[in-house]
Amino acid sequence: MLRTILLQQEKANVERLLEPIKGTWREKGVSIVSDGWSGSQRRPLINFIAACETGPMFIKAVNCEDEMKDKYFIANLMKEVIDEVGHEHVVQVITDDAKNCKGAGEIIEGIFPHIYWTPCVVHTLNLSLKNICAAKNVESNMETYQECNWITEVHGDVVQIKNFIVNHSMRLALFNKFVSLKLLTLAETRFTSVIIMLKRFKLIKHGLQAMVISEQWSSYREDDLGKARFAKEKILDDV
């Protein structure tokens, strides 16, 4: 019963709910957005979403296990989705700017001259921030490294202070007494979070300074005095 009649009824209901979104595709067009990720069972997946001004609509996710994810494979998947949506409705396909995705986009542009490949703006900005917040010390990147390496150093100090505070219940309780806002955790693959974390530390700086010069901090006997001294010196440093 659940796998037959009820499932079919629910599918039909979902299709009815999606009709208003699909109806706008003919008038204003639609973008096909694709991205790779891993499922709960760690299988490599590529998902496809149709996005327009009335909202996004999930199309499908493809299990790419044991597949060579080159530009031809990705282009074939894109073409299947474009055919399903209707190529006359599609304005662009959006992916990250990896070499295979860019190549797939060029193939799609060759098949459908009216469809453009567009690199994902968020991914592009993330790569730009990566080059700023984690600049590599290599010859081809020397100018950026010299200009931006201080961000990496400050970020390293902030992470060390954050870990020192949150990894011990008494230190965290003392922090919460002086600061009403929470410390933020970094997302390893999203370099925007570095900027957000540094802004948060700047916002709570006065509270941190009050904490490290308080009697509670001075009377607290920490087994790692070196880290405690480092945290206090960095927090009180106005440079």
pTM of the full predicted structure? Answer: 0.66
75 band by pLDDT with thresholds 50, 70 and 90: very high
Domain ranges of the chain: 23-119, 130-236
Angle between helices 142-166 and 225-236 (to 10 degrees): 120
Q: What pLDDT does residue 225 have?
A: 79
Q: Which stretch, 109-118, 176-185, 212-221, has highest mean pLDDT?
A: 109-118
Q: What pLDDT does residue 105 have?
A: 94
Q: Which two tokens stand for residue 125?
A: 């900005």
55 φψ region: left (φ > 0), alpha (ψ -120 to 50), beta (else): left
Is pLDDT at 169 greater than 60 in this prediction?
Answer: yes
Is pLDDT at 138 greater than 70 in this prediction?
Answer: yes
207 band by pLDDT with thresholds 50, 70 and 90: very high
32 band by pLDDT with thresholds 50, 70 and 90: very high
Least confident of 28-37, 133-142, 204-213: 133-142
Q: CATH for 23-119?
A: 3.30.420.60
Instruction: Report the 10 Å Cβ neighbour count for 139.
Output: 6
CA nearest to 79, candidates 99, 104, 102: 104
